[in-house]
């Protein structure tokens, strides 16, 4: 039987919020079985905000969750994706501000933190949400869907009217190894021409070349260029994986996204929960000849993460 997992130790760091532009202290702590991922606003009298789809209140350029008192945390998707990638079911996330720090714009710094903290098995079985039948949400030329699959697969396609992006598509079976190796370092991205408008709307105040791919009219402005072939669509896969974890459980199924974003991802999750015949909870037993995947399938890279570790 596969069992639930949590962190072995607590770990802390600090970074800048992408949209608010303010310094944030973040701590990851172990949590008991069946807790899920719970955000804890230490600056708001210890307000707790479970990472659940019903708590999503805003999907403009990120996923924002809030509790019944209106206390919120935004930009949760990259951290949630790292928890999925490393198989963490239960954890407390302490923050002294309204936004998860953006780090370097990818999920890799959070992977590094989790690996440094360590991951341990707990006593309760892990539960997956298994997709039983196809389900989709469409809006114009955008579409998101679930299809049955005996493992977790994510496929995504983007299509921008820009010479550096154009049409990109990637499909991956998501395991601990593929997540760390093939998508975790893909950074969020934006267009230089949109920056002034975003900041006027109170967004992207902390954005910089240190935490996002900035795209000019004809070139990437970041020194060193891209980290992956098709890095843009690979980052959209990170976003999708993080958004899907707002179901509170890992998924056995195939998610497909076409030109979609956080809003449509959330709409698909809400539709899934309304159609109880489309999914079921399952526990999974390893095959007799399967080689267990270690908690640290890929060691942290030598590249210095774009955040400060706190002992």
Beta carbons of 267 and 137 less than 8 angstroms apart: yes
φ, ψ for residue 86, nearest 5 deg: -105, 10
Structure token digits, residue 87: 């198989």
Crossing angle of the two packed helices 108-117 and 77-85, in degrees rounded to 10:
50
Structure token digits, residue 177: 């190894």
Beta carbons of 207 and 104 less than 8 angstroms apart: no
Helix, strand, coil content of the chain in percent (nearest 5):
25, 35, 45
What pairs with residue 58 in β-bridges? 64
Helical segments of the chain, H only: 77-85, 108-117, 176-178, 195-200, 231-244, 262-274
Structure token digits, residue 218: 């004809």
Sheet holding 37-41, edge to edge: 47-50, 37-41, 91-95, 23-30, 11-16, 308-310
162 labelled catalytic = no
Structure token digits, residue 86: 């490393």
Structure token digits, residue 250: 């890992």
Q: Is 288 helix (H, G, I), strand (E, B) or coil?
A: coil
Catalytic residue, chosen from 19, 78, 235, 262, is: 262
Catalogue the active-site residues: 262
């Amino acid at each position: 039987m596969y069992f639930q997992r949590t962190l072995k130790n607590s770990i802390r760091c600090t970074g800048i919020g992408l949209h608010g532009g303010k310094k944030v202290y973040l701590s990851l702590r172990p949590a008991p079985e069946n807790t899920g991922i719970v955000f804890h606003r230490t600056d708001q009298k210890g307000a707790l905000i479970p990472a659940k789809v019903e708590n999503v209140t805003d999907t403009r350029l990120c996923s924002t969750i809030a509790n019944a008192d209106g206390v919120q945390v935004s930009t949760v998707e990259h951290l949630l994706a790292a928890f999925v990638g490393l198989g963490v079911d239960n954890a407390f996330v302490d923050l002294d501000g309204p936004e998860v720090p953006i780090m370097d714009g990818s999920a890799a710094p959070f992977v590094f933190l989790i690996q440094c903290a360590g991951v341990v098995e707990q006593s309760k079985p892990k539960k997956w949400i298994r997709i039983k039948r196809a389900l989709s949400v469409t809006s114009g030329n955008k579409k998101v869907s679930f299809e049955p699959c005996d493992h977790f697969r994510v496929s995504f396609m983007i299509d921008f009217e820009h010479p550096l992006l154009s049409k990109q598509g990637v499909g991956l079976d998501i395991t601990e190894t593929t997540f760390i190796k093939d998508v975790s370092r893909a950074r969020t991205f934006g267009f230089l021409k949109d920056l002034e408008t975003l900041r006027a709307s109170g967004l992207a105040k902390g954005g910089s070349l240190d935490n996002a791919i900035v795209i000019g009219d004809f070139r990437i402005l970041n020194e060193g260029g891209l980290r992956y072939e098709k890095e843009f669509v690979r980052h959209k896969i990170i976003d999708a994986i993080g958004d899907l974890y707002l179901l509170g459980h890992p998924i056995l199924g195939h998610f497909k996204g076409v030109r979609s974003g956080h809003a449509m991802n959330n709409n698909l999750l809400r539709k899934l929960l309304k159609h109880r015949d489309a999914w079921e909870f399952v526990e999974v037993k390893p095959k007799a000849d399967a080689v267990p995947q270690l908690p640290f399938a890929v060691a942290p890279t030598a590249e210095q993460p774009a955040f400060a570790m706190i002992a």
